[in-house]
Structure 1
Amino acid sequence: MLLSALGFFLAVISIIGMYFYLKPGLPSVEILREVKLQTPMRIFTQDGKLISQYGVKRRIPVSLDDVPETLVQALIATEDSRFYSHIGVDPIGVGRAFLNLITTGERGQGASTLTMQMARGFFLTKEKKFSRKIRELFIALHMEQELSKDEILELYLNKVELGHRAFGFGAAAQVYYGKNLKQLNLAQLATLAGLPQAPSVLNPISRPERSKERRRIVLLRMLDEGYINRQQFDEASQAPVTAKKHGAELALDAPYLADLIYNEMVEIYGKEIAETSGFNVFATATYDMQKAAQEAVIQNLHDYDERHGFRGPLAQLWEPLERAVAKPVAVVDGIEQGNPSPVELPPRINKNAWSIEKVTAYLDSVEEIDPLLPAVVMTVQEKSVDVIIADGRMIQLVWDGLDWARAYIDDQTQGDEPEVAADILQEGMLVYIRKRPQDDVWQLGQLPDAAGALVALDPYDGSVKAVVGGYSFYKSQFNRATQAKRQVGSNIKPFVYASAIGNGYTLASIMNDAPINQWDSSSGVAWRPQNSPAVYEGPIRLRVALGMSKNVVSVRLLRGVGIDETVDYISRFGFDKDDIPRDETLSLGSGSHTPLEVVSGIAVLANGGFAVRPYFIERIENDLEELIWQAQPVYACNPCDDESPELEQVLNESDIEARLAAQFSQKLGRNSQKKKVKQSAQQVISSQTAFLVTEMMHSAVKANGNWNKKTFWLGTGWRATNLLQRDDIGGKTGTSNDSKDTWFSGFAGNLVATTWVGFDDASRQLGRASRNQNLVNKNPEKFNWIGNALIGTEAGAMSAQPAWIRFMQEVLKDQPQVPKKNSRRYYPG
């Protein structure tokens, strides 16, 4: 034993000698101090509301002053009780480990100090080799010489891996408890302090029992060290495990918007830098507008889906009891035979029914698709049903939440209105339910088959104020607002009419609204474009023709201007020439464009003729919340004589953030200099042409003329003015052949927006909906205006426009109307 001890001390002396010999080659103090913690990229709305977070490693840096003393005590007691007295290597711990080695022949775990753990975490691997251990000792000694104890502890608190991709205790508090460190109690802090030893097997989510035992060990060490008393130990050790997995605390989950920004950041910075540099990226969209857009798209798709009928349950979990059927009453000589009055029967017990425990366990495995919750029907009454959801709550769906659900037969046909709940649901059915946002009533739901999109922007600088690419990003990451090129139908007409106005036509120009029958000798088929509906007015002014969306007039205008001239003119609005058909179907919207392209074109009309560029990122900050990049858009003004806001940034060109910011600006074609006069966007059409087309679009969204004088007529988008009760709006409906794509695009206040509804399967028609008297009875004064009570063939005004109206109703409710004399739309600049 004496020889062993002597050998141990000789080894220690040799190691110390080796340390001083190798010290010049160890990591410098500057490297240690400048080790940059990998922190995720966070994306905010323009007004600072968190909408997403990207990065494999979740990290919330904390300073030592922000860490509860209890956590520090728990760590020191458990991991390194002599932390503040040793030199980076604990001789007592090393001696204990060495003794264990020579007595058992096995390498133990008890010799590492917090400093050694830090050395391993920053610079080494976890392999159990003597060579690695010696390097770990050297780096630990070096760290103790160059850094203070508090600096080492703070690095440890922010660096250590704690499971579920949480690095550092700030992130762990959020991941496991959804709180910051100062909000945690003793039991929770002790749980976190027990994680560094083996986060994968000791964490309270995956292994709650092992975590609870580890917590007890931590509390015992704290009791032994005098940090807590026996009462605190008893209370904390007996406390229930309260941890569950939490994501980032999002003010709004806006994945389609966040994904656009994330991809733009990755394109410029690269994936690793974008995800680990702690960027705070601020969108051009505001919280209120983005939220309103998402709710409008979701509600509109539910409205479409529900007026076409209920497609049935997701599954039938058990066989229900046979539905009781009333016996017919015979009438003999005018006297009813039998008992016509209802008889109270005792409730029947279904022995096939699952227990509540089995039902809730099953529901845990069924996907939630916000705002839809999976539920199982437990009982069916005459006009209501009771369902249970995954957390065990029993919810009653009253008739008001069921009466929409007539049977879906196909896209063109629906069944009869239900009369009782049993016409719709049976016991044991797995269904979706949702809470209506307008009145908090729970109702039967289903995942919409149709898809939708909405994009809104400021027409004067191109900043995107809201973007929604579908019903659920988690079901389909395909962003229909920016990626789906779909036939635009009559949404192309404002641009065709602009071409005509730009080539000498006026709002009062008379065109012949009469059928066209043109023989095509090359195909042997006559082309007969028709109005929808097939009503022809004869001579008609352009203002009325656009407002009533007369197809044949659009064709005649194209012929009058010429196809090549029209294609060139329409391309000024930002449409790719390759996507514009070079035949007469162009005038009816046979070309395919994305909603973002369409709304960008509408912006040119709304802002007086300037081609602003859509952009999604307003500014970028580094992890210290210092501004490193600010968008410098071009504006719809000429001249632009006022200066843009001064950027508060002083960056060295050798700084990586400065260089990356410069790359970002160069890539996007925008300026990031410290001070710059506003740049004017290119004026692609005259302000006079823009004014005249928007005047026609005003007429397209309201009732016009005088009924008594027989001059009354409705624009195809008349519901917009009826529901918004504003005079500063204009727009255009759009429907492709066979109602496969439906659109509405327009302006209101100082916003432009486009909505689209269709199926992802471009060959599928949106169909038609027959009258559902149950829905009409609920709100007869608004029947056929907006919502799921609409009837008839699906078209732009019926399918897409309601989402546009809902969005504008919400975002403009507190905004005054914009008089023409004050609107930049008419007096750009």
Structure 2
Amino acid sequence: MGWLKKLGKLVFFGTLLSILVVIGFYFYVKDDLPTEDLIRDVKFQIPMKVYTAEGELISQFGEKRRTPVLYSEIPQELKDAIIATEDSRFYDHFGIDPIGIVRSAIAVISTGRKAQGASTITMQLARNVFLSLDKRWMRKIKELYIALHIEQIMSKEEILTLYLNKIPFGNRAFGIGAAAQVYYGKDISELTLPQLAMIAGIPKATTRYNPIRNPDLAKWRRNVVLGRMHTVGAIDTATFEEAKSAPITAKLHGAKITAPAPYVAEQVRKEMVERFGLEAAYTEGFKVFTTIKGDAQIAARQAVRSNIHAYDERHGYRGPSRYLWDAENLDTTSEAGAEWSSEKIVKHLSRIKNYGDLVPAVVTNVMEQQIYVLVKGGNVEIIDWDNLKWARPYISDTKQGDAPETASQIVKEGGLVWVREDESGNFRLGQKPTVSSSLVAMNPNNGDILALVGGYDFSHNQYNRVTQAKRQIGSNIKPFVYSGALDNGATLATLINDAPITKWEKNSVWRPSNSPETYNGPTRVRRGLAESKNVMAVRLMRTMGVDKTVDYLTRFGFSKADLPSNETISLGSAALSPLSVVTGMSAFANGGFLVESNLIERIENVAGDTVYQATKMVANLEETVNLEETFKSPSAEMPAPRVISTENAFLISEALNSSIWGGGTWSKGNGWNGTSWRARAIGRRDFSGKTGTTNDAADTWFTGFNASIVATTWVGFDAPGRPLGRTTFNSNLGNNEQVSGAEAGATTALPGWVTFISQISDSIPLANREIPEGIVSVRIDRKTGLLSRKTDHTTEFEYFIKGTEPTKYVDEFSPITIDEEKDLIDEEEGIF
């Protein structure tokens, strides 16, 4: 009896002491425990995602990849796998599993090592969300109290959902939604049982059981998970055996990007960081919907790349990057001098990153007019003569070697080369381009950027030539100068002297000349702009004066600091960004309004609430513009300021339409082409356009537009001032396969624009050219611009702003000869 009394006292005081210890520890750590509000408001670090206007993913930013899922979206098989493996008594305990603790303690006593864990899912959640991962006793005590606290506040479904969305799965994936994407490139609902079991096995040790790093261990762990599911009755024997034998299918997947636009993504990232700060932008799960159209963006990227390749190929082949072995002097006794094995080549190529559309390859066999290449990834491909014959030697930017007759004149075996697929899916010999290009397209009615490509390959060069590069604009400035002249009394029929200019200033002389250096004498303004006559632009600018011209150009959004205060401004000496050019040119497309470029349509938070909605400057807000749904958006709107009259915008657009379609009658001997005639390839009469070329063709431009879209392309070297050079005719290619001669806006930049517009033409509304009320049309004589009573090929109809049309008929006027004209020109202005 005495022994029993002592035992009873021991149990009593032991229990009392345990209760006091528990209470004491509780008050000791009480202040460190999370509140109910904090537990219920656990925030995930969710990356920012950037989308097109249609909702296609462009990119995502954030250290942790996470895609939260609801309890109802979690596959039952995954719930079963996690519970069977991590906490089989999850629905029975109160946050702490006494049975599990006892079982773990017995295992430690019997084996001398920790063979089983006693942490419940709730305890793991407490550790992952509110505590560090160190192994101190105090952390474990806090973990117990937090687990108890969580169980009092949240339901089992809420706990399991939070746990599966929060825990790490390796490779920067947090939560099952991200894990499914990272390892299988699918939504969690699309995974098979073996794949779900694989994911369920990773949290035990994210590195050790990672299917990418340790596939064998990961498979063993997956089968352990399947075994536990079988043991608890979640799956039957047949299902278990089938799943256990399934192969490992996990591969590392990035974000499922369906609309690649890295320059757009980077522009958005900068704006989001400025707006919300770095940490919030990267972790609060913002969804940024841009104005980018997916089909237009893809077309723009391909147009830029194909145009760069076209330039690069016509200037010649610079040869393989290097030779891995010397095919003509093989040394079979030396590993360094011997021909490489396929395995060695494949391993070497695997370490070389692709470059845009270009893939590394090694030449393994050279035939007379074809070569065999081993391409990165291990496939052997044939490059036929049609995809080789362009590769005459590059000598300089202005000189190319003779056209090759055989493949051996181009490459030899062992050459490390770049290849790309052509439009037919055949491989073509290529090379890393040295030239650069950009393209930006905008809705001229509200400033929405529809496509933006800042260079050939963002992963190798992040410099955005659309927004960051300011390059001399060349003749793309002329529409703005001519617009000022129309506001200063000129008309499209006004005669300007197309003749050389010489201007002396102290000890220097300035002689602007046409390109090519042909001069027509008195020429109408429409034709002068369409044919991009330099001397006519200078003379028109002189009617306004330099200062007035500079002030006028600022109407179109150009900064005065970017506009030189001298006469070269009329020829495009101003350095402007493509984004500013496309914005300014929008005024001619939309009837005279200055819109602001806009890339972000709206921003949503993680809950789907809109936290930012773009307010757009809209042209013709009072007169609703009728555009197809493709180019509409439901954002807030306000009227864009009018900067030129509707009539002025119409007349400039008309002249720029002539830049594409020309004028006169070829059969009667008075036909002529504008500099943009290659744009006829798109088969659209409703487009207007203007080429631009600077001195020595260091910068080449083309801007084309109708009422629904305006797009600008630029091509040049990143090193300012380096000429684009010229090419000679390649005898291996037909006339329709090449462009030769000096590089210029018409031959270098315009083809990229044509490729872009051609690909999306069906989605661009056909614009009816409505004549403004303030415009009249009268028949004029083609030579003099005066009224004519004739109706033959010597006359045409021309548009005028009411009150500016000519009042004299041509038969009342004696034509002026070039010699007589010299006596009539005041200070070489040449305005008639």
Q: TM class, shorter-chain normalised? A: 0.7 to 0.9
CA contact (8 A) 2:316 2:391 kept: yes
Which range moved further: 385-394 or 607-616?
385-394
Partner of 1:821: 770
Distance across 1 between alignment mates of 2:467 and 2:698: 18
CA distance in 2, matches of 1:497, 1:274: 45
Q: How far apart are residue 14 of structure 1 and its match?
A: 4.5
3-state SS of paired residue (2:668): coil
Q: Is the 1:510–1:539 contact (alpha carbons within 8 Å) kept by the matching residues of 2?
A: yes
1:70 positional shift = 2.0
Over 3 Å counting, the alpha-carbon distance change for 1:757 and 1:356 in structure 2 is: same
Equivalence for 1:661? none
User: Does 1:491 find its partner at 2:476?
Assistant: yes
Question: Which of 708, 718, 725 is the aligned partner of 1:750?
Answer: 708
For residue 750 of structure 2, the aligned residue among 793, 801, 822 is 801
Q: Which of 662, 665, 669 lines up with 1:706 in the alignment?
A: 665
| 1:648-663 to 2 correspondences below 5 Å | none
**Cα distance in 1 for residues equivalent to 2:163 and 2:442:** 45
Within-5 A mapping of 1:761-772: 761-772=719-730
Q: Look up the SS of the partner of 1:431 in the other structure.
A: strand
Give the whole-Å Cα distance in 2 for the aligned partners of 1:117 and 1:586: 69
Aligned: 1:428 with 2:414: yes
Q: Say whether 1:475 aligns with 2:424.
A: no
CA displacement, residues 286-331 of structure 1 (integer Å, 9 cap, x when unaligned): 11111111111111111111111111112211111479xxxxxxxx
Equivalent residue number for residue 143 of structure 1? 150
1:419 to 385, 405, 408: 405
C-alpha distance in 2, partners of 1:9/1:451? 79
Residue identity (%): 48
Match of 1:396 among 382, 388, 401: 382
Asked whether 1:737 is paired with 2:695, we answer yes
CA distance in 1, matches of 2:243, 2:732: 57
Q: Which amino acid aligns with 1:520?
A: E
Cα displacement string for residues 470-493 of structure 1 (whole angstroms, at most 9, x for unaligned residues): 011111111101110001111111
Within 1, Cα distance between the matches of 2:21 and 2:101?
Answer: 13
Judge conservation of contact 2:182–2:252 (CA < 8 Å) in 1.
yes
Aligned to 1:653: none
2 CA distance for matches of 1:191 and 1:203?
9
TM-score between both structures, scaled by the size of structure 2: 0.86
Q: Deviations over 1:126-150 (max 9, x none)?
A: 0111111111100000111111111
Residue of structure 2 in register with 1:461 after alignment: 446
The 8 Å contact of residues 687 and 826 in structure 1, kept in 2 or not, is answered as no
Distance 1:715 1:105 in 2: 91
Looking at structure 1, the residues matched to 403 and 223 of structure 2 have their Cα atoms a distance apart, in angstroms, of 62
State whether residues 607 and 824 of structure 1, in contact with CA within 8 Å, keep that contact through their aligned partners in structure 2. Answer: no
- Is the Cα–Cα contact under 8 Å of residues 608 and 824 in structure 1 kept in the other structure? no
1:564 aligns with 2:568: no
Judge which range, 258-267 or 573-582, deviates more.
258-267
- By how many angstroms is 1:816 displaced? 5.3
C-alpha distance 355-234 of structure 1, shift in aligned 2 (>3 A): farther
The equivalent of 1:659 in structure 2 is none
- SS for the counterpart of 1:194 is helix
Q: TM-score, normalised by structure 1?
A: 0.87
Q: 1:107 to 1:125 in 2, by over 3 A?
A: farther
Please give the alpha-carbon distance, in whole angstroms, between the structure 2 residues aligned to 1:70 and 1:352: 55
TM superposition shift of 1:97: 4.6
| Contact in 1 for aligned 2:618/2:639 (Cα 8 Å) | yes
Correspondence 1:27-106 to 2 at 5 A? 27-98=34-105
Structure 2 residue runs of 5 or longer lacking an equivalent are: 1-6, 331-335, 628-632, 777-832
Among candidates 499, 509, 525, match of residue 542 of structure 1: 525
In structure 1, give the amino acid aligned to 2:471. Answer: R
Shift of 1:368: 1.0
Is 1:363 aligned to residue 369 of structure 2? no
183-192 vs 441-450, which moves further: 183-192
What is the aligned partner in structure 2 of residue 652 from structure 1? none
The 2-side partners of 1:99 and 1:532 are apart by 94
Q: Does 1:450 align with 2:435?
A: yes
| Corresponding position of 1:679 | 638
Structure 1 residue 543 displacement after superposition: 1.1
Q: Quick one: structure 1 residues 104 and 228, their matched pair in 2 at CA, closer, same or farther if it must change by over 3 Å?
A: closer
Aligned match for 1:692, one of 631, 641, 651: 651
Which amino acid is 1:810 matched to? Answer: Q
Give, in whole Å, the separation in 2 of the partners of 1:403 and 1:425. Answer: 12
Q: Kindly tell me the number of residue pairs found equivalent between the two proteins.
A: 758
* CA–CA distance in structure 2, aligned partners of residues 552 and 601 of structure 1: 23
Matched letter for residue 614 of structure 1: S
Bigger Rg, structure 1 or 2: 2
Residues 341-399 of structure 1 deviation map (CA, whole Å, 9 limit, x = unaligned):
xxxxxxxxx99221111111111101112321111111111121111122221111111
Where do residues 232-311 of structure 1 align in structure 2 (5 Å cutoff)?
Answer: 232-311=239-318
Unmatched tracts of structure 1, length 5 or more: 324-349, 645-671, 784-788
2-structure distance, mates of 1:443, 1:756: 25
User: What whole-Å deviation, never above 9, does each CA across 1:422-463 have from its counterpart, x for those lacking one?
Assistant: 1212111111111113x2222111121111001111111111
> What corresponds to 1:17 in structure 2?
23
For residues 121 and 10 of structure 1, do their structure 2 counterparts lie closer, same or farther at Cα, with a shift above 3 Å needed? farther
RMSD: 2.8
Secondary structure of 1:704's counterpart equals coil
Distance 1:10 1:421, change over 3 A: farther
The alpha-carbon deviation at position 36 of structure 1 amounts to: 2.5
Separation in structure 1 between the aligned mates of residue 635 and residue 673 of structure 2, nearest angstrom: 50
Corresponding position of 1:647: none
Cα drift, residue 693 of structure 1: 1.3
Query: Aligned to 1:773, which of 728, 731, 754?
Result: 731
2:760 to 811, 815, 827: 811
Q: For residue 309 of structure 1, give the secondary structure of its aligned residue in structure 2.
A: coil
- 1:178 is matched with which residue? 185
Offset at residue 826 of structure 1 (A): 9.5
Q: Structure 2 CA distance, aligned partners of 1:301 and 1:27? A: 58
Task: Provide closer, same or farther for how the CA distance between residues 111 and 638 of structure 1 changes in structure 2, counting only shifts above 3 A.
Answer: closer
CA distance in 1, matches of 2:381, 2:24: 72
**Displacement after TM superposition at 1:242 (Å):** 1.7
Q: CA deviation at 1:410?
A: 1.0
Secondary structure at the counterpart of residue 633 of structure 1: strand
